[in-house]
Amino acid sequence: AFVSYKLRQDAIKAMNSLNGQLLGTKKICVKFAKNTEDHDKPKPELGIPALAGAKPELKLSKKTAIQSIEAKLKMMENMKAGDDFVVNKLAANEPPIITQYQINKHQPPNKTINTFRRRHPYHKKR
């Protein structure tokens, strides 16, 4: 329900005296109504990306963008042919991991280690 008062002081007084009072078996909550104009106003942008639900947009100045492009071009000019592709030499000399596991699969298991120390785990030793 909505109630209007001429003076703000009277509205505050009524709100404070009625807020939290019992109406039947329920407590009532009394607060100021929101204007419809407040809903039409544009909301401020959230500066925290986690609260906004998106990544922040990085705005670079033109000068910074030009400097980064020039640095990238210089780096590309200084590179020799074939520098962009490097094979890991240690991994290239070894067989693929999958074949290592397939070899171990066909070998007989090591029987020196007793894996069943207790044959009956639910019977106590006497």
Per-residue pLDDT tens digits of the chain, which is 126 residues long: 788 888 989 999 999 999 999 888 889 888 888 776 766 677 776 666 665 555 555 667 888 888 888 988 888 787 766 666 555 656 666 666 677 666 655 566 665 555 555 666 666 666
pLDDT attached to residue 75: 81
Instruction: Give a yes or no: residue 2 inside a domain.
Output: yes
Write the DSSP symbol of residue 33: P
Instruction: Give a yes or no: residue 85 inside a domain.
Output: no
Host domain of residue 8: 1-35
- What is the reported pTM? 0.29
Q: What's the number of CA atoms in the CB half-sphere (13 Å) around residue 27?
A: 4
pLDDT attached to residue 9: 92
- Burial-class residue 109 by CB neighbours within 10 Å (0-12, 13-18, 19+): exposed
Buried b (16+ CB within 10 A) or exposed e, 53-84: eeeeeeeeeeeeeeeeeeeeeeeeeeeeeeee
At 69, the amino acid letter reads I
Instruction: Give a yes or no: residue 98 inside a domain.
Output: no
Instruction: Give a yes or no: residue 4 inside a domain.
Output: yes
Evaluate the CA torsion angle 76, 79, 85, 88 in order and state its sign.
negative
Instruction: Give a yes or no: residue 102 inside a domain.
Output: no
